């Protein structure tokens, strides 16, 4: 080994020792916070968002803001697990983008619990079997996830966070070659998202829709002539070779997930409020519902309508606005809305996704 290399490695070891000492010091401070809170709501989404935003703003480089935020997410996750490893329900099986979203938001120290349906994810959290739930709410190409919106209407859970995941699809197979593939398994949405790539690179190969990408990977692991389209994480879980990365036709394909808990979050300085409302059935009623936000200068980031499920052609509106429900402009808008809307439910105020 050259002298220069040896010296650099010695210096890296010294920095690692120092990092380790500082990490232990941080963990002990977090434990003290835990004692102050006496197990009461140890996980604070607004504080975690503030920590990550501060780190990104203070980042001197050369690591990217994204990279340092990811590292600090894991540090907080490990500190939090000293108190109690959080249990987080997601739409399984293991290897789905929902699991990736849960890990992105809570870090690897959280315990993720797979559920067979979105309904079950809600039920587990409502019944207190898990601490939090992560559910998909919208996709940039496919639009709203209707089942999640419907379940939000009746749940006792509050939205306490959001996270956005880039959906990168991969071609996975047991055999390490592309030749000889006779079938490709995937979720119908993923097959649709890779339509052009498949036409070009694997024309004439049968596309077989299955219930999830992880299920596709599981099937492909058992059949030498089959391949699967799934996320990268499924390759490791199901022992498959990653033949091709990023085969989705739209490289900006993203899914937004909501984090649900039995509490929402305190103001973090950069928050969103989600609500659902409906208008009495008369001319101009929907227009009036949007008035309070306009008058108080509150920006709307989403407006989605869904059939109410009670009367034919009766709609409910899902609205996201900028700001926290405890902050003046949103608070004032909400109190005016109470008199205008036939239904008004605040689903939660929560920090805008940092990562
Ligand atoms: C330490 C705290 O509690 C938890 C741990 C955090 C951390 O490790 O930085 C941040 C927020 C909480 O989820 C705190 O509230 O400050």
User: Domain with 63 in it: what CATH number?
Assistant: 1.20.59.10
Q: The domain containing residue 32 runs over which residues?
A: 26-84
Q: Interface pTM (ipTM) of the complex?
A: 0.94
- Ligand 1 centroid to Cα of residue 203, in Å, is 51
Cα distances (Å, whole numbers) of residue 337 to 67, 150, 203 = 41, 21, 54
How far apart CA 92 and CA 79 sit, in angstroms, is 26
CA 189 to mean position of chain CA atoms: 18
Asked whether residue 44 falls in the same domain as residue 100, the answer is: no
- Looking at residue 313, its pLDDT comes to 66
Instruction: Tell which atom from ligand 1 comes closest to the C-alpha of 47.
Output: 11
Q: What is the tens place of the pLDDT at every residue in 1-27?
A: 799 999 999 999 999 999 999 999 999
Q: Which residues line ligand 1 (CB under 6 A)?
A: 30, 33, 42-44, 47-48, 51, 76, 79-80
Percentage, residues of the chain above pLDDT 90: 84
Tell me what pLDDT residue 39 has.
Answer: 64
Same domain? 176 vs 141: no
Question: Quick one: 123 and 68 in the same domain?
Answer: no
What pLDDT is attached to residue 281? 77
pLDDT digits (tens, 9 = 90+) for 252-296: 999 999 999 999 899 999 999 999 999 877 888 888 999 999 999
Among 257, 273, 293, 317, the active-site one is 257
User: Which one from 255, 273, 293, 317 is the annotated catalytic residue?
Assistant: 255
Q: Is 335 in the same domain as 275?
A: yes
| Within-domain flag for 126 | yes
Mutational pocket test of ligand 1: of 47, 49, 52, 107, the residue with most ligand atoms within 8 Å of the beta carbon: 47
The Å distance, Cα 149 to ligand 1 centre, comes to: 30
**pLDDT at 312 (0 to 100):** 58
- Give the mean model confidence (pLDDT) for residues 81-91: 92
Range of lowest pLDDT (199-208, 278-287, 290-299, 320-329): 278-287
C-alpha dist (Å) from residue 107 to 6, 29, 148, 297: 34, 19, 23, 36
Predicted local confidence at residue 4, as pLDDT:
95
What is the SS3 assignment for 43? coil
146 and 185 co-located in one domain? no
Kindly give the distance from the C-alpha atom of residue 324 to the centroid of ligand 1, in angstroms, as a whole number.
Answer: 20
Tokens of 302: 């989403």
- 92 and 162, same domain (yes or no): yes
Among the residue ranges 201-215, 273-287, 292-306, the one predicted with the least confidence is: 273-287
CB 247 within 8 A of CB 191: no
Q: For the chain, how many structural domains are there in total? A: 4
* Residue 257 annotated in active site: yes
**In-domain check, residue 305:** yes
Alpha helices in the chain (DSSP H): 3-37, 45-58, 65-83, 97-106, 118-126, 146-154, 188-193, 195-201, 213-222, 232-238, 285-295, 328-340
Can you state the percent helix, strand and coil of the chain, rounding each to 5?
A: 40, 25, 30
């Amino acid at each position: 080994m050259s002298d220069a290399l040896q010296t650099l490695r010695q210096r890296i070891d010294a920095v690692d020792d120092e990092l380790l000492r500082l990490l232990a010091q941080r963990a002990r401070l977090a434990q003290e916070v835990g004692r102050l809170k006496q197990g009461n709501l140890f996980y604070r989404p607004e504080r975690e968002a503030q920590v990550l935003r501060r780190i990104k703003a203070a980042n001197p480089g050369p690591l990217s803001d994204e990279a340092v935020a990811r590292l600090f997410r894991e540090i907080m996750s490990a500190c939090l697990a000293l108190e109690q490893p959080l249990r987080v329900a997601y739409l399984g099986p293991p290897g789905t983008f929902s699991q990736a979203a849960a890990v992105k938001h809570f870090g690897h120290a959280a315990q993720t619990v797979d559920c067979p349906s979105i309904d079950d994810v809600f039920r587990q959290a409502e019944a207190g079997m898990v601490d939090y739930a992560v559910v998909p709410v919208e996709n940039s190409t496919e639009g709203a996830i209707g089942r999640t919106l419907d379940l939000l209407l009746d749940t006792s859970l509050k939205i306490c966070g959001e996270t956005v995941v880039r959906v990168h699809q991969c071609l996975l197979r047991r055999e390490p070659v592309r030749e000889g593939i006779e079938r490709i398994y995937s979720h119908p949405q993923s097959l649709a998202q890779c339509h052009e790539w498949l036409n070009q690179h694997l024309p004439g190969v049968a596309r077989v829709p299955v219930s999830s990408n992880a299920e596709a990977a599981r099937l492909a692991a058992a059949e030498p002539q089959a391949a699967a389209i799934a996320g990268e994480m499924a390759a490791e879980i199901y022992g498959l070779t990653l033949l091709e990365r990023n085969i989705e036709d739209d490289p900006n394909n993203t899914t937004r997930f909501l984090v649900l808990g039995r509490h929402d979050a305190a103001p973090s300085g950069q928050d969103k409020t989600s609500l659902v409302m409906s208008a009495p059935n008369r001319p101009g009623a929907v227009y009036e519902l949007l008035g309070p936000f306009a008058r108080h200068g509150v920006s709307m980031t989403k407006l989605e309508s869904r059939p109410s499920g009670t009367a034919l052609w009766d709609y409910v509106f899902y609205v996201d606005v900028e700001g926290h429900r405890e902050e003046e402009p949103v608070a004032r808008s909400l109190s005016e809305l109470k008199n205008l809307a036939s239904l008004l439910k605040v689903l939660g105020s929560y920090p805008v996704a940092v990562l």
